[in-house]
Amino acid sequence: MSRKWKVVVTDWEYADLRYEEQVLASEHITLVPAQCRTEEDVIAACRDADALINQYAPITRKVIEQLQNCKVITRYGVGVNTIDLQAATEKGICVANVPDYCMDEVADHALALLLAWKRKIVVANQAVKNGVWDFKVTQPITRLRGQTLGLVGFGKIPQALAQKVKPLGLHVVACDPFVPEAVAAELGVRLVSLHELCVVSDIVSVHAPLTEGTKGMIGAEQFAAMKQDAIIINTSRGPVIDERALIDALLAGQIAGAALDVAEQEPIAPDNPLLAMDNVILTPHAAWYSEEAAAEMRSKAAMGVIDVLVHGEYPKYLVNQEVKGRVELAESLPTNRYAPLV
């Protein structure tokens, strides 16, 4: 009976766990809530768990080596940097994420940051609230049509953004070694090197996932190559941009500004120089959020557990494909099980 399975939510920041509970209850699985902060917390709560649903708690090699029954770890959202993938693979544990729950939300947020910065909305709003009714506080503003948007990474989210900016008359280039030119061409996007993207773009929007290879990939060399009136937007992960190099570039006037939904340290430190810069817009890692996206993410994270424990399948959104050489499950089949519970 599936009732014997122990599924632990290692940590969460939501008001409740109703979506997860609803998915798992359909298979008579009781969810065990925890609020783990340390490796020791996770080990204590999850040592005998059959599956974990994870947000921020550290699922390190030390933790994974202590998991006696775990068959699958799913993570809220896209990134899996809280989980030691190699250790999980060696242990025969499937790791799954939810890569498609907020494509429109993040693309919309990047577009909102782009328009807010280019039209100086934040500057104008603050001036009016301070009693200054004068368009000159926003000078200079340049026409958006005809400018070039450079997308660092060209997965589903930046592809959605490329389609959203078409009516604005922007030219779009992208840098992504894993995307075929035919895919980019179909969307009217030209693939270029990172250096060329930095040179030609009026707006650089970062969408690369955080990996060892992408950490700090936008640094001093890239800022030096950018136009002085260029801006940079980041709705991916803070450490993809070398934050010290960004601050230096802004202070030196190498680029015109930034619009950031993420930071190297979150929450952002109160003494971070970015907080004092009028040419920087900051939002609190909110690009992913809508009520619908949150429900979809949480229900799909729970469905990854169901895939493995109930149906004996690899999870639909399996991250560590190498685990297939260590554990035998059926291939995930097309199903409507992943319909979000909204």
Whether 266 sits among the annotated catalytic residues: the reply is: yes
Report how far residue 332's alpha carbon sits from residue 316's, in angstroms, rounded to the nearest whole number: 6
Residue 2 tokens read as: 């599936």
Strand-pairing partners, residue 172, are: 149
- Using DSSP, how many helices (H) and how many strands (E) does the chain show? 12, 12
The single residue listed with the structure tokens 């400018």 is 147
Tell how strand 148-152 and strand 190-191 pair up: unpaired
Reduced to 3 states (helix: H, G, I; strand: E, B; else coil), residue 268 is coil
Report how far residue 239's alpha carbon sits from residue 236's, in angstroms, rounded to the nearest whole number: 9
User: How many CB atoms neighbour CB 251 within 10 A?
Assistant: 10
The phi and psi torsions of 218 (rounded to 5 degrees) equal -105, 100
Rounded to 5°, angle at Cα 339 from 337 and 340: 125
For 339, half-sphere exposure in the C-beta direction (CA atoms, 13 angstrom radius) is 3
Reduced to 3 states (helix: H, G, I; strand: E, B; else coil), residue 24 is helix
- Give the active site residue among 237, 296, 298, 313: 237
- Give the active site residue among 65, 186, 221, 266: 266
Rounded to 5°, angle at Cα 266 from 265 and 267: 125
Report how far residue 70's alpha carbon sits from residue 113's, in angstroms, rounded to the nearest whole number: 41
- Give the active site residue among 285, 311, 326, 337: 285
User: Which residues are known catalytic residues?
Assistant: 237, 266, 285
